Amino acid sequence: MNKKWMMYGAAALLLLAGCGKSANDASQTASQNPTGQDSSQQQSNTQPAPQPVVVPAGTPIAVILSSTLNSRVNKPGDDFDASVAATVMVGGEEAIPKGARVKGTVVDAKKQGTFKGAAEMAVKLISLRVRGKDYEIETGAYAGTQKGKGKRTAVVTGGGAAVGALIGGLAGGGKGAAIGAGAGAGGGLAASGATGGKNVEFPAESRLTFKLTRSVTIEP
């Protein structure tokens, strides 16, 4: 009789142990997948990773100068700072945000009287910072010329008049030219700004537009 009860007791213990293990397994599974979705469902709900955006050559980038540039003071090789004046969109996506910091350099500077009585200055962009990362860029030059007689006109070239309104103001400018890839004979012209003084000057807060001559890939 005792042997029989011992057998019943052993069977009951085995049954309880099996139930406890099943409950533990279920609890562990629930903790690993709290939403109740299987792995295939979770993968299908994962959003695709953002992709890099390629800003193609020929894209205009308008910037606001942080300081004044003057052909009498500045010389080739001088760097300057600016900020992006308007968001650059590519395929409906924001590639370069407004306010992104950019750096440029003076590629040519001649004060009044050093070259047939005319003052000249040309600048271009060399790098930009987007979301904490720096990118080297190549652009056409933005150039200004002040004739000795002080001709009060400014023109812009760069492949089409749609580039217009490139200068916020040229306090000492003369002729301004945004020279991009392919600019030259047949390039569009747009009048802009009044000039004065004997040297080319791009005042602080001036808005200048440059064209990329080489594409740049912006990381997400």
The answer to whether residues 66 and 167 belong to one domain is yes
The answer to whether residues 93 and 25 belong to one domain is no
Q: What is the chain's mean pLDDT, rounded? A: 73
Residue 8, pLDDT above cutoff 90: no
Candidate ranges 98-102, 170-174, 180-184; pick with highest mean pLDDT: 98-102
pLDDT digits (tens, 9 = 90+) for 200-216: 999 999 999 999 999 99
Tell whether 40 is covered by a domain: yes
Tell whether 143 is covered by a domain: yes
User: What is the pLDDT at residue 62?
Assistant: 98
What tokens does 182 get? Answer: 């392919």
The helix/strand count (H/E) of the chain reads as 2, 16
The answer to whether residues 75 and 160 belong to one domain is yes
The answer to whether residues 27 and 65 belong to one domain is no
Containing domain of residue 20, as a range?
A: 2-44
pLDDT digits (tens, 9 = 90+) for 48-90: 888 999 999 999 999 999 999 999 999 999 999 999 999 999 9
Q: Where are the alpha helices (DSSP H) in 33-71?
A: 39-44
Tell whether 50 is covered by a domain: no
User: What is the pLDDT at residue 28?
Assistant: 55
**What average pLDDT does the segment 4-8 reach?**
56
Domain count, the chain: 2
Tell whether 49 is covered by a domain: no
Residue 118, pLDDT above cutoff 70: yes
- Angle at Cα 73 formed by Cα 68 and Cα 77, nearest 5°? 85
Higher pLDDT pick, 32 / 178: 32
The answer to whether residues 85 and 187 belong to one domain is yes
Residues 178 and 21: beta-carbon distance below 8 Å: no
The answer to whether residues 64 and 30 belong to one domain is no
Residue 183, pLDDT above cutoff 50: no
What tokens does 172 get? Answer: 């000492």
Higher pLDDT pick, 61 / 36: 61
- pTM of the shown model: 0.62
Q: What is the CATH number of the domain that holds 94?
A: 2.40.128
User: What is the pLDDT at residue 47?
Assistant: 80
**What average pLDDT does the segment 155-182 reach?**
36
User: What is the pLDDT at residue 50?
Assistant: 86
The answer to whether residues 75 and 28 belong to one domain is no
The answer to whether residues 37 and 108 belong to one domain is no
The answer to whether residues 27 and 105 belong to one domain is no
Torsion of CA 215, 99, 89, 44, to 10 degrees: 100
Candidate ranges 21-30, 143-152, 157-166; pick with highest mean pLDDT: 143-152
